[in-house]
Amino acid sequence: MSAKVIDGKEFAANVRAKVAEHVARLKEANGITPGLAVVLVGEDPASEVYVRSKGKSTVEAGMNSYEHKLDADTSEADLLALIDKLNNDPAVHGILVQLPLPGHLNSDLVINSIDPAKDVDGFHISNVGLLGTGQKSMVPCTPLGCLMMLRDHHGSLSGLDAVVVGRSNIVGKPMAQLLLGDSCTVTIAHSRTKDLAEVCRRADILVAAVGRPEMIPGDWVKPGATVIDVGINRIERDGKKKLVGDVEYESCAAVAGAITPVPGGVGPMTIACLLANTLTACCRANGLAEPEGLTA
Ligand code: GUN
């Protein structure tokens, strides 16, 4: 069997187009422009690239982008004061503090100081609790993007065996909650799981989010399964730099029913879902109907 390749780039372009269309209608009918504030502390080069890309995509979708770049030695008090200002700014509907933060800042404290209604990352403990109890919340962008692609491919996910490899707060745990919400039987596995290969072979849906290059080979995949590869790992092979996922693409694609490539799979969906979450937050803040198909 050769797997259907799930084109995340195309999927993300459709999500962005839907967001842009809804934003244009909001402006026209209600005179409201959604706004996203992104806060970057320090000069981590990878974070700078992400933040630039988020700002550009926000403007392309017709929304306002507010970038706040702070020095690496910014005090916690100053960062919290900025977040308080953004929490109280009616033009700002979404707030994202780029992680990782410099070591002297307490990330949990900072994230939990964001107004949960503006927490477009879905990392605030209130949103984590709301998601875990099946209530309306802001949902983390990467797992939301994975869910959208899975629903599109399968229709209903009800009753399917899902295995999520990875237990991070950003991807693994919320992914598992979303799959449970769609009535999958969910296993969260990780690097200490006993007989990980056997656990993975049970999966109708296998989500790899461990951050280890090509850790999952094709013989861990059930024939016909859907493989969602969240990993983005930079490696060097034969003297060339290369991006690879957490699964061994060629061997997995030979067995799977469908698979997301790296690059061009899950990656593009993250920013698309950030835009979707900003729009959702704006609609909720204004008591307007939420965009269809763009939330969990
Ligand atoms: N750093 C890497 N990924 C993310 C993300 O999704 N959100 C934030 N805030 N920081 C990140």
pLDDT at res. 218? 98
Distance CA 296, CA 294 (A): 7
State the pTM of this model: 0.97
pLDDT of 237 reads 93
Determine whether 121 is an active site residue.
Answer: yes
Q: What are the beta bridge partners of residue 66?
A: 37
Collect all residues with Cβ–Cβ distance below 8 Å to 121 and sequence separation of at least 6: 96, 97, 111, 138, 140, 141, 274, 277
Looking at residues 82-89, what average pLDDT do you find?
Answer: 98
Listing DSSP states for 32-87 in one string gives ---EEEEEEES--HHHHHHHHHHHHHHHHTT-EEEEEEE-TT--HHHHHHHHHHHH
**pLDDT per residue as tens digits for the range 138-175:** 999 999 999 999 999 999 999 999 999 999 999 999 99
Per cent of the chain over pLDDT 70 is 100
Residues of the chain with CATH 3.40.50.10860: 30-116
Question: In Å, what is the CA distance from 104 to each residue of 47, 71, 74?
Answer: 17, 13, 9
* Residues 252-280, mean pLDDT to the nearest whole number: 98
Q: Tell me the C-alpha distance between 212 and 187, whole Å.
A: 19
SS3 218: helix
**Sheet harboring 35-41: ordered strands across?**
64-70, 35-41, 94-97
CA-to-CA distance for 295 and 272, rounded, in angstroms? 12
Q: In terms of CATH architecture, what is 30-116? A: 3-Layer(aba) Sandwich (3.40)
Instruction: Provide the pLDDT for residue 148.
Output: 98
CA distance 276 to 182: 20
User: How many angstroms is it from 213 CA to the middle of ligand 1?
Assistant: 19
The pLDDT value given to residue 1: 61
Q: Give the mean pLDDT of 247-258.
A: 98
Catalytic residue, candidates 121, 182, 204, 246: 121
The pLDDT of residue 277 is 98
How far apart CA 56 and CA 63 sit, in angstroms, is 10
State the span(s) of the chain assigned CATH 3.40.50.720: 141-268
What mean pLDDT comes out for the span 227-247?
Answer: 96
| Average pLDDT of the residues of the chain | 97
Q: Give the atom of ligand 1 at the shortest distance from the alpha carbon of 100.
A: 1
Per the structure block, which two tokens stand in for 292?
Answer: 């269809």
In CATH, which superfamily holds the domain spanning 141-268? NAD(P)-binding Rossmann-like Domain (3.40.50.720)
Residue nearest ligand 1's atom 11 by CA = 99
Query: 201 alpha carbon to ligand 1 midpoint, in Å?
Result: 30
**What number is the average pLDDT over the span 105-134?**
98
Q: Choose the residue to mutate in 99, 110, 113 for probing ligand 1, maximizing ligand atoms within 8 Å of C-beta.
A: 99
Residues 128-160, buried b or exposed e (16+ Cβ, 10 A)?
bebbeeeeebbbbbbbbbbbbbbeebbeebeeb
Q: Are strands 240-244 and 35-41 parallel, antiparallel or unpaired?
A: unpaired
Query: Does residue 99 have its Cβ closer than 6 Å to ligand 1?
Result: yes
54 has catalytic annotation: yes
**Edge-to-edge, what's the strand order for the sheet holding 258-259?**
4-5, 258-259, 226-229, 205-208, 161-165, 185-189
